[in-house]
Amino acid sequence: MTDKRLRAICHDKGLTASVAVVTGSAREGQKMHGLHDMSAMLLGQAMAAGALLVSLQKDASRINLQLECDGPLRGMFVDAGADGSIRGYVKNPYLDVEGNRGPMRWRPALGNKGFFSVLKDVGDGDFYRSSIELAAMDPALDLERYFTTSEQVQSKVALAVERSGEEPLGVVAGVLIQALPHGDLTELQRIGASLTAELERHVKGKLGVEAEALLSSMLPGFEPMSQTPVAWRCTCSKDRVLVALSAMGKAELQDILTTQGEAAATCQFCSRRHVASADDLKALLNGFS
């Protein structure tokens, strides 16, 4: 089983599609953070959403997807790169209660209020951030509303996290369909009306599904344009910690050296601990001379 995202186009109808399967990456995230079932399923959905969002970006770009809510999950964060790297975490890893299928399925975890925001790295040090209030308290529906209100692009989104026996993450996948400037909006609405049901039907009860199979079976009129392998990869490093420390300024660095003797940071995504020794801090201070 290989995680992958695909881009495809239907020339006749002026529609584009992204298909993402992130099952293996979601399982890695569950293992990394020790997530209970509901926390793992929601993070899996967010990772699928992140893969769909970054599929629309240029090479070497990244997106950050953040959800904050008043429910017991409290929030989650996903970082996805155009190179196929993806990682994420939830604020509450211990949720198990899942609602019945339908509009209330995710409310036991998400609650009644919150916001959804996307930060895009558009290159050359420029970033674009956009946020919306959560309305449906359903990741797929609120992502769809994000595209309509913030991106002003007619879109249809489906996200699926399906169990397989005792495995809560049997398949984790997402599909995004958008209209080009002169695309057929009637056809977009027709496909979108059953998109979630079709995605769930194609992955229900299965242990692993390939992105190519989803594209060919769900969207037969779409031609593949590109494909990118997706995998859980963390980009944290000691060098990044040193850069962040340097940005704090000479006075604060000197205070850390004097009072603590070293500085340490633990990555929220992978829990690795990076330590800047006294010698590292002295080297940074020398750079201010």
Of 164, 152, 75, 58, the residue nearest 114 (C-alpha): 75
Q: Where are the domains of the chain?
A: 4-232, 238-286
Distance separating alpha carbons of residues 70 and 257, to the nearest angstrom:
39
40 three-class SS: helix
Domain 238-286 sits in CATH at 3.90.1280.10
Distance separating alpha carbons of residues 251 and 254, to the nearest angstrom:
5
**pTM of the predicted model as reported, rounded to 2 decimal places:** 0.90
Single-letter amino acid code for the residue at 232: W
Angle, vertex CA 105, rays to CA 196 and CA 40, nearest 5: 90
Residue listed under structure tokens 């953070």: 33
Contact, 48 vs 173, CB < 8 A? yes
Distance separating alpha carbons of residues 240 and 152, to the nearest angstrom:
35
Domain 4-232 sits in CATH at 3.55.30.10
Contact, 274 vs 241, CB < 8 A? yes
Alpha helices in the chain (DSSP H): 23-33, 37-54, 107-110, 139-146, 185-193, 195-203, 211-218, 238-246, 250-259, 278-286
Write out the chain's pLDDT in tens, 289 residues. Answer: 689 999 999 999 999 999 999 999 999 999 999 999 999 999 999 999 999 999 998 776 889 999 999 999 999 999 999 999 999 999 999 998 877 777 788 999 999 999 999 998 766 667 888 999 999 999 999 999 999 998 888 999 999 999 888 889 999 999 999 999 999 999 999 999 999 999 999 988 777 789 999 999 999 999 999 999 999 998 888 888 888 888 888 888 888 889 988 888 888 888 888 998 888 888 888 888 6
State phi, psi for 3 to the nearest 5 degrees.
-70, 140
Distance separating alpha carbons of residues 177 and 197, to the nearest angstrom:
15
